[in-house]
Amino acid sequence: MKSLTRRLTLNITERMEFVNITPDVQDAVRDSAVEEGLCLVNAMHITASVFINDDEPGLHRDYKKWLEELAPFDPSPQRYHHNRTGEDNADAHHKRQIMGREVVVAITGGQLDFGPWEQIFYGEFDGRRTKRVLVKIIGE
């Protein structure tokens, strides 16, 4: 069994933003020399997501508006008890649960086994500091 572990570093200047990390994951798959296996990609932070969807700016704008409706940013300690700890990012912990922590992608013939429009995104909900994504590959 082969394995590869890689950490990607992201610096998002916005509070909420989505970044296409597919090329970085493809590089890791190539470097692993795994032909058949599984590739886990997860946010290493609990106010961020990794998800697969479309690389279409209008859709990303829709997601941001929708997530803001489902879990509004509100630094006050009234709406969110979490913000009584001195944090202001309770909303980000909620948004992350909607969009998910991780994806697992099949590797077939040495490539990410994607459907026609699948792209991997890092979703930041509490940006303006350095964050990391973990890529873990196992297979043969």
By CB under 8 A, name the binding residues for a second copy: 1, 3, 5, 36-38, 40, 42-46, 51-54, 56-59, 61-63, 66, 70-71, 80-85, 90, 93-94, 96-106, 108, 113-118, 132, 134, 136, 138-140
Task: Provide the token pair at 28.
Answer: 């890791």
Q: Which is nearer to a second copy, 14 or 108 (CB)?
A: 108
DSSP code of residue 60:
H
Q: Which is nearer to a second copy, 3 or 11 (CB)?
A: 3
Q: How far is the CB of 131 from a second copy (least distance, A)?
A: 9
What is the C-alpha separation between 127 and 80, in angstroms, rounded? 19
Measured from the CB atom, the residue of 33 and 106 that comes closer to a second copy is 106
User: In degrees, to the nearest 5, what angle opens at C-alpha 45 toward C-alphas 44 and 48?
Assistant: 110
Handedness of CA 73, 75, 78, 82 (dihedral sign): positive
Minimum CB distance to a second copy, residue 115 (Å): 3
Q: Which two tokens stand for residue 64?
A: 């941001």
